[in-house]
């Protein structure tokens, strides 16, 4: 199958896919390289999978890039990851040429002013695209996002009987983006690690042992084909 071909046999395509990009460190370690080179390699895969998602007609794809818990890592690793974000936001121009809308979720206030400015800029230059939206989760934690939503609700003076799941959803970081249909996690770990815990309430899950830097477009296609065979009931009867 050529890289640009859609998969022909799909009966359903997920509207919103979440990807927990994991295994960069182990990939580097296996090769005797510093962990930061694993992250660098992981960025290449992220770029390729974003394009593949667009080809497959996936409307929303969210990548977990840095969690609220990842600050616990050694400073040089955190600095290297932040550098990669800055560099790649300069290179995101080709996504914009390809009409991919870019959004961010997470608490931006802890990020450098330069990075925050680049994030805003990227969102602005791509906000008019209507095809595929790529969402990057940076300094993101599901618990933190829900907490921040609850704070906003309290500050607005809402009375307790007005509190509904819909109201909480409206106060999350990207209220216009639909919930996750599918969560893909490479690297063999079978957990969410605080990724979109609200939005993943009815998601399907796909775990694979492949480390993120080794994850190919064909591996992504395989995951998407697997999704098309899942029967979803949302608590009902089918």
22 as an active site residue: the answer is: yes
Using alpha carbons only, give the angle 60, 207, 75 rounded to the nearest 5 degrees. Answer: 80
Tokens of 15: 């509207």
Query: Which of 81, 100, 203, 224 is close enough to bind ligand IPE by CB under 6 A?
Result: 81
- Contacts with ligand IPE in 108-137 (CB under 6 A)? none
102 binds, among Mg ion, ligand IPE, none (CB under 5 to 8 A by kind): none
Distance CA 57, CA 5 (A): 11
- Catalytic member of 5, 70, 94, 173: 70
Residue 193 in contact with ligand IPE, rule: CB under 6 A:
yes
Total residues contacting Mg ion (rule CB under 5 A)? 1
Residue 18 in contact with ligand IPE, rule: CB under 6 A:
no
- Contacts with Mg ion in 2-61 (CB under 5 A)? 22
Residue 50 in contact with ligand IPE, rule: CB under 6 A:
no
Distance CA 35, CA 130 (A): 36
Closest to 18 in 3D by CA, of 188, 172, 194: 194
Q: Return phi, psi of residue 100, to 5°.
A: -95, 125
Residue 213 in contact with ligand IPE, rule: CB under 6 A:
no
Closest to 8 in 3D by CA, of 47, 55, 43: 55
Which residues does the annotation mark as catalytic?
22, 70
> Which residues of the shown chain bind Mg ion in the complex (CB under 5 A)?
22
């Amino acid at each position: 199958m050529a890289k640009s071909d859609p998969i022909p046999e799909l009966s359903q395509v997920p509207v919103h896919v979440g990807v927990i990009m994991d295994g960069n460190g182990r990939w580097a370690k296996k090769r005797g390289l510093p962990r930061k080179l694993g992250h660098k390699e992981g960025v290449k895969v992220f770029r390729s999978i974003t394009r593949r998602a667009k080809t497959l007609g996936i409307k929303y794809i969210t990548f977990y890039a840095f969690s609220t818990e990842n600050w616990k890592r050694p400073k040089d690793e955190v600095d290297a990851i932040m550098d990669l974000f800055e560099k790649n936001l300069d290179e995101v121009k080709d996504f914009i040429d390809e009409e991919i809308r870019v959004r961010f979720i997470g608490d931006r206030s802890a990020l450098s002013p330069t990075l925050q400015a680049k994030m805003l800029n990227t969102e602005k230059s791509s906000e008019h695209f209507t095809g595929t939206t790529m969402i990057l989760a940076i300094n993101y934690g599901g618990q933190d996002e829900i907490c921040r939503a609850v704070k906003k609700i309290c500050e607005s003076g809402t009375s307790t009987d007005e509190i509904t799941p819909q109201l909480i959803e409206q106060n999350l970081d990207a209220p216009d983006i639909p919930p996750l249909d599918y969560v893909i996690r490479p690297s063999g770990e079978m957990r969410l690690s605080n990724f979109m815990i609200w939005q993943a309430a009815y998601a399907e899950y796909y775990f694979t042992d492949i480390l993120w830097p080794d994850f190919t477009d064909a591996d992504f296609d395989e995951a998407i084909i697997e999704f098309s065979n899942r029967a979803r009931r949302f608590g009902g009867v089918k």
